[in-house]
Amino acid sequence: MNVRFRHLTVAFTIIVLLSAFVVFNHSGMVKASGQKVYIIPLSGTVDPGMAAFTKRVLHDQKDDANSLFIFELDTFGGRVDSALQIVDLLISVPKGKTIAYVKTKAISAGALIALACSRIVMKKNTTIGDCAPITFSNEGPKMLGEKFQSPLRAKFRALAKRNGYPEALAESMVTAEMAVYAVNMDGNIRYMDSQAFDDLSASEKDKVTAKKTVVAKGELLTMNDSEALELGFSSTSVDSIEDLLKETAIKGHETIRIDESWSESLVRFIGSISPYLLMIGLAALYTEIKAPGFGLPGIIGITCLALVFLSQYMVGLADYTELLLLTLGIILLGFEIFVIPGFGVAGISGILLIAVSAVLALQDFVIPDPSFPWQGELLVKNIMHVVGAFFVAIITALLILRYILPRLSLVTEGPYLATTLKDSHADSVEAKGAKVGDKGTAMTFLRPSGKAKIKDAFFDVITEGEFIEKGTTIIISEIKGNRIIVSRGPDDE
């Protein structure tokens, strides 16, 4: 009992330390004051961690009315929901206070973030564009249909209109079926898609002096810095961010670069491996249910699940609801292990609560919004991740129970004899009067070890990872040294 208490104390101590880490991360940020220009690098995959970082930076500087935010972009894109969160944060900043500086590339979701800024400046030989929504299948990446493209086109169109970028060209970053022309009408260049051009009246078409295909049908708009400058997206091309600061004529203003804190980088890393942590945590908890007492598997399981949920909480995906469901699930499993005999409603309910909390912790919504079709896609993906983690966890736990734990039970401290007792009859000291094939009755719950009555004598027995209830008929399947291995009798199979 003392050993169990110590193990439980260690597990809860780990949870308390992780919780303190969350509080420290949120309360320990020191707000900078007096700076006018903030350089915020957004690099790597667009994910909830990047959205949380952007939110923290803008929130910390919200009271500085004279601040200018330069977002240094280097990304191939990522999650649509995270990109839209960043977009909503950027458009909440007063117009003219945000600049997107494309350091290397702003592709897909990165292009969406760039268009949300009031101005785009590109480093020479960099690229921007290509924001087609895709999914990954067994055949590789596949472009999603009109249902997904339509709301994204609308978002691109709205951002282009807000910040003065060519709307038709912005939409062509999303949909490959669009052909966009540069039409010269009365000396003015207008960009319009093929449908808009066909809808021109006869008198308007008479004013057209030239028409040039900018984006052909079947292509997605992707531009280098000079093309972006020519087409009206980029305001200038520079060699470095220092040149950008000189070009913007903001001399005398102090600049500060705000990088991700070590805790934010750690949380993003944990988020990237969360499916594996979830699998390990579930496998460890399942092993703990099948093994007697509470030990290392339980501590590993609770720690892994705590890391997953606390990391999701820090990036704003998990809330108190998910943490409450997880806690209730673990409590029910605890009742199943220590209090309630057998495996029934409490255990199944605990597993379901943990599964639901895991799915909700991977997304920022409960029920998908039909107007955002990618939410339904994300929900299906998260459910598959959790179900897959459960399946792999159970298989892993069964292998551990079958091949690893029985071997660990044979390890004892020395001293050892120099010769073996292979040919002696030491087996009979513990198994006297019992042999393979003898039947008996389980006198305690075998999880997997316990007591059994065989031929009016009591023996310590163990199963091969199987859980057997008290009173069940058992049969000796194997005798190894002092270990009597039993299985469920034929009458109870």
Over residues 282-339, the pLDDT tens digits come to 777 777 766 655 667 778 887 887 788 777 777 665 667 777 887 888 788 777 766 6
Kindly indicate the confidence band of residue 113, based on its pLDDT and cuts at 50, 70 and 90.
Answer: very high
Residues 233-284: pLDDT tens digits? 999 999 988 888 887 766 556 788 888 888 778 878 887 777 788 888 877 7
Q: Can you state the angle between helices 296-314 and 274-290, rounded to 10 degrees?
A: 150
* 30, pLDDT greater than 50: no
| Percentage with pLDDT > 90 across the chain | 13
Using CA atoms, how far apart are residues 474 and 453, in angstroms rounded to an integer? 9
* 2, pLDDT greater than 70: no
* 455, pLDDT greater than 50: yes
- Ranked by mean pLDDT, the top range of 17-21, 410-414, 460-464, 487-491 is 460-464
Kindly indicate the confidence band of residue 1, based on its pLDDT and cuts at 50, 70 and 90.
Answer: very low
Kindly indicate the confidence band of residue 34, based on its pLDDT and cuts at 50, 70 and 90.
Answer: very low
Topology, domain 427-492: OB fold (Dihydrolipoamide Acetyltransferase, E2P) (2.40.50)
- Ranked by mean pLDDT, the top range of 117-131, 303-317, 460-474 is 117-131
Residues 153-198: pLDDT tens digits? 888 899 999 998 998 999 988 888 888 998 888 778 888 888 888 8
Topology, domain 33-150+218-260: 2-enoyl-CoA Hydratase; Chain A, domain 1 (3.90.226)
Helix then strand then coil, % of the chain, to nearest 5: 45, 20, 30
Q: How much is the pLDDT for 251?
A: 59
Q: How much is the pLDDT for 208?
A: 84
Q: What is the mean pLDDT of residues 41-63?
A: 86
Nearest to 255 by CA among 75, 43, 99: 99
Q: How much is the pLDDT for 159?
A: 92
Q: How much is the pLDDT for 115?
A: 93
Q: What is the pTM for the complete model shown?
A: 0.64
- Ranked by mean pLDDT, the top range of 154-163, 433-442, 468-477 is 154-163
DSSP line for 423-468: TSSTHHHHHTT--TT-EEEESS-BSSEEEEEETTEEEEEEESS--B
Query: Measured between alpha carbons, how far is residue 75 from residues 78, 102, 106, 156, 167 in Å?
Result: 8, 9, 5, 18, 23
DSSP line for 162-178: HHT--HHHHHTTT-TT-
Q: How much is the pLDDT for 32?
A: 37
Q: How much is the pLDDT for 128?
A: 92
* 371, pLDDT greater than 80: no
Query: Measured between alpha carbons, how far is residue 334 from residues 213, 349, 394, 401 in Å?
Result: 67, 12, 18, 19
Residues 339-357: pLDDT tens digits? 665 556 777 788 788 888 8
Q: How much is the pLDDT for 105?
A: 92
Average pLDDT, the chain: 77
Q: How much is the pLDDT for 106?
A: 92
Query: Measured between alpha carbons, how far is residue 427 from residues 197, 233, 402 in Å?
Result: 92, 83, 22
Strands (E), 22-97: 37-43, 68-75
Q: How much is the pLDDT for 408?
A: 59
Q: How much is the pLDDT for 86?
A: 92
Q: What is the mean pLDDT of residues 199-222?
A: 87
Kindly indicate the confidence band of residue 127, based on its pLDDT and cuts at 50, 70 and 90.
Answer: very high
